[in-house]
Each structure stands twice: as C-alpha cells, then as structure tokens.
Amino acid sequence: MAKKGITSVLWCIGFRPDYSWIDLDVFDDHGRPVFHRGVCNMPGAYFLGLGWLNTWGSGRFLAVGEDADYLAGCIAAKRQVAQKMVS
C-alpha cells in the first residue's frame, strides 16, 4: 500500500458512531460526518461503511465493496491531478 501512496486506513466498527477521536472539520452541528458518497470537502478525508453512504447496503458487507471501489476511484483521480500539478 505504501508504494501506492496510501499511508493510513482506519477500520472501525461498533454499535453506535463515536467520532470524538477524529479532530477534523468534517462534521455538522449534530456531530455527523458531512460527505458525498463518502468524500468529504477536506482533502484526504473519506468515510466508508456508514449506512446510506450511497445505498441501503452501504453500511453492510453486502455493498461496502461498491462504495470502496467508488472511493478508490476518487482517491486515484485526485492523486493523478496532484501529480500532474507537480510535474
């Protein structure tokens, strides 16, 4: 993963969400993450495995792969843009 520039992956499960340990400006006034299909406005911040990320199955193993593919595509596209800007 490091060869591809991925340095961190957090996988957290539980019965109720607790984002208190995340010190990023990606939450609304009620403490819920703000995103579109898992992509936050803050560069490098993404959410995966939450219910209704994209479909009913997003929070279940049934559809998490589809959401992961989408996020991986978004991350790869942003990385390509960044690399072109540096070149």
Minimum mean pLDDT among 1-5, 29-33, 34-38: which range?
1-5
Domain span at residue 47? 2-86
> Where would I find the beta strands (DSSP E) of the chain?
none
CA distance to 17, 20, 30, 45, per residue, from 74 (Å): 24, 26, 27, 11
pLDDT value, residue 1: 59
User: What pLDDT digit, counting tens, does each position of 10-19 carry?
Assistant: 776 667 888 9
pLDDT value, residue 61: 77
pLDDT value, residue 8: 80
Find tokens 């193993």 and name the residue: 61
Say how many domains are in the chain.
Answer: 1
Instruction: Measure the CA angle with vertex 43, ends 56 and 46; round to 5°.
Output: 25
Q: Which of 41 and 59 is assigned the larger pLDDT?
A: 41
pTM greater than 0.75 (yes/no): yes
Q: What is the CA radius of gyration of the chain?
A: 14
